[in-house]
Amino acid sequence: MALAFEDTTESRRDGLIWIPGRTFTMGSNDHYPEEAPAHPVTVDGFWMAETPVTNRQFREFVEATGHVTVAEKKPDPKDYPGAKPEMLRAGSLVFTQPKSVEGHDISQWWTFKFGATWRRPLGGISDLRGKLDHPVVHVAYADAVAYADWASLDLPTEAEWELAARGGLDDAEYAWGDEFAPSGVPMANIWSGTFPTHSTKPKGHERTSPVRSFPPNGFGLYDMIGNVWEWTSDYWSTGQHEPANHSCCIPSNQRGRDAEASYDPRQPEIRIARRALKGGSHLCAPNYCRRYRPAARHAEPEDTSTSHVGFRCVRRPEGEPK
């Protein structure tokens, strides 16, 4: 059972909700290795956006600033040694549901589509009709930072994001409690069926959904789990920090700052930092990706945009470091 959110003027301001500071247990020892070990972290209070940034909000930003997203720019060959020249075109990664798959090669359901952008989420002649209140997608890390700067906000750290997602239920498996679907009711927009070949979602709801389509968590935040993965400002690490030996040594406002350690060791020739994503997406499924939990995390190169990654913003009290 999720905590009841007390909606007051003091707790809500300009689309932001106050998240009280506290010490909580970050990570998990029960699932994927990069979530372990679970350890206490102290986070100061901050304001967090009630929902992920929507297409409507991102369009307002672009119209005000003329911002051009990473997906709309031709890649620089110097950044991608060995890349095929014909692939160095503007575009983004789009999920396409396959009829069948062999093994676990993700290229069977992910395609780099030329022309896919936040404006044209499926590439081609697709557009945003009926999707202005869906989370914006096909945004790289730099695009999320640019929006946050324009709005006089910041991106959350991984610790801030996880504290907020838990909604006050620090020891619960999910953002809403310990039961995956209480009384059979879906609590988040995740994959329904067998990923990636079979979806039981209604037609038109296979991908992102409008924000606020599912119940809020205990802090009154929507879509912290599912719908889209969300960028955090932390560099990726392969595991969590070891628990402090004494209560006096619990990290405060823990941040991932090691860009060098975030590089993908499988691609040593490409020097592109990775950031930590949180929250899972509409593609997470019990049979494939059980990352629809607050503790779950995923690495994403800063230059990469996809059809299932978005972001939301925070505001820290004056004097807090970014």
239-281, pLDDT tens digit by residue?
777 776 656 667 777 777 889 999 999 988 888 999 999 999 9
The CATH architecture that domain 12-315 belongs to is: Alpha-Beta Complex (3.90)
Lookup: tokens for 90: 């503007």
Determine the Cα–Cα distance for residues 5 and 300; give it in Å rounded to an integer: 32
Show the beta-strand stretches assigned E in the chain: 12-13, 16-19, 22-26, 39-43, 46-49, 91-95, 110-114, 193-194, 198-199, 229-235, 274-278, 297-301, 309-310, 314-315
What's the pLDDT at 79? 84
Q: How far apart are CA 89 and CA 43, in angstroms?
A: 41
Of the pLDDT bands very low, low, confident and very high (cuts 50, 70, 90), residue 116 is very high
Give the lowest-confidence range in 8-12, 21-25, 127-131, 240-244: 8-12
The model scores a pTM over 0.85: yes
Let me know if 41 is exposed, middle or buried by CB neighbors in 10 A (0-12, 13-18, 19+): buried
Alpha carbons 49 and 147: distance in angstroms, whole number: 13
Helices (H), the chain: 55-65, 141-150, 158-166, 259-262
pLDDT for 94 beyond 80? yes
Interatomic CA distance for residues 71 and 80, integer angstroms:
15
Residue 131 to residue 145: CA distance in whole angstroms: 22
- Measured from the Cβ of residue 227, the count of other Cβ atoms closer than 10 Å reads 29
DSSP classification of residue 138: S
CA distance 294 to 243: 18
Q: Are residues 297 and 277 in contact, defined by beta-carbon separation less than 8 angstroms?
A: yes
Spatial distance between the Cα atoms of 70 and 67, rounded to a whole number of angstroms: 10
pLDDT confidence band for 216 (50 / 70 / 90): very high
Least confident of 3-7, 63-67, 157-161: 3-7
Smallest CA-to-CA distance from 182 within 224, 214, 230, 211 is with 214
Report DSSP letters for 143-199, one per residue. HHHHHHHHTT-BPPPHHHHHHHHHTT-TT-SBTTBS-SSGGG---SB---EETTTEE
Say if residue 47's pLDDT is above 60: yes
Q: Which residues of 259-285 are buried (b: 16+ CB within 10 A; e: fewer)?
A: eeebbeeeeeeeeebbbbbbbbbbbbb
- Of the pLDDT bands very low, low, confident and very high (cuts 50, 70, 90), residue 170 is confident
- Tokens coding 89: 């075109």
Dump pLDDT digits (tens) for 68-86.
999 999 998 888 888 888 8
Q: What counts of helices (H) and strands (E) characterise the chain?
A: 4, 14
Q: What are the domain boundaries of the chain?
A: 12-315
Query: Given the structure tokens 């067998």, which residue do they identify?
Result: 194
